[in-house]
Chain A
Amino acid sequence: MAVEWTNLGLVLSVRKHGEHDIILHALTEHHGHHAGLVKGGNSRKHKGLYQPGNRLHMRWRARLPDHLGAFVCEPDRMFAAEALHDRGLLLSLTALCATAETVLPEREVHALAYRQACHLLETIGTDGWGADYVLWEMHLLNELGFGLDLESCASTGESEDLIYVSPKSGRAVSRAAGIPYKKQLLDLPPFLTAEDHGRPTQEDVAAGLELTGYFLERYVFAQHRQTLPDARVRLQTMLAG
Chain B
Amino acid sequence: MAGPDIEALIRQLSKLPGLGPRSARRAVLVLIKKKESLMLPLIQLLQQAADSVKICGTCGNFDSQNPCSLCLDPKRDRSTICVVEDVADLWALERSAAFRGIYHVTGGLLSPLDGVGPDDLNIAELAHRSEAKEVTEIILALSATVDGQSTAHYLAERLDGIDVTISGLAHGVPLGGELDYLDEGTLSAALKARRPV
Could you list which residues of chain A lie within 8 angstroms of chain B, going by C-beta atoms? 13, 15, 19, 47-49, 51-54, 75, 77-78, 80-82, 84-85, 87, 90-91, 93-94, 98, 229-231, 234
Contacts and interface: CB of A to CB of B under 8 A. Distances in A.
B113 A84 contact: no
B112 A230 contact: yes
Contacts of B150: 90-91, 94, 231
Given A48-B183, A49-B183, A231 B112 contact: yes
Contacts of A13: 113
Interface residues of B, number: 25
A84 B186 contact: no
Contacts of A93: 146
B177 interface: no
A13 B113 CA distance: 8
B112 A98 contact: yes
B145 A47 contact: yes
Contact of A78 (B114, B153, B183): B183
B189 A85 contact: yes
With most chain A CB atoms within 10 A of its CB, the pick from B17, B145, B171, B185 is B185
Interface in B97-130: 110, 112-114, 117
A75 B184 contact: yes
Contacts of B149: 84-85, 90
A80 B185 contact: yes
A80 B148 CA distance: 12
Interface string B141-179: 000111001100110110000000000000100000000
B188 interface: yes
Contacts of B186: 48, 81
A81 B188 contact: yes
Given A49-B183, A84-B144, A87-B157, A78 B113 contact: no
A85 B146 CA distance: 10
Contacts of B157: 87, 234
28 contacts: A48-B185, A51-B145, A51-B146, A51-B185, A53-B146, A54-B185, A78-B183, A78-B184, A78-B188, A80-B185, A81-B185, A84-B171, A85-B149, A85-B171, A87-B156, A87-B157, A90-B146, A91-B150, A91-B153, A94-B150, A98-B112, A98-B113, A229-B112, A230-B110, A230-B112, A230-B117, A231-B150, A234-B154
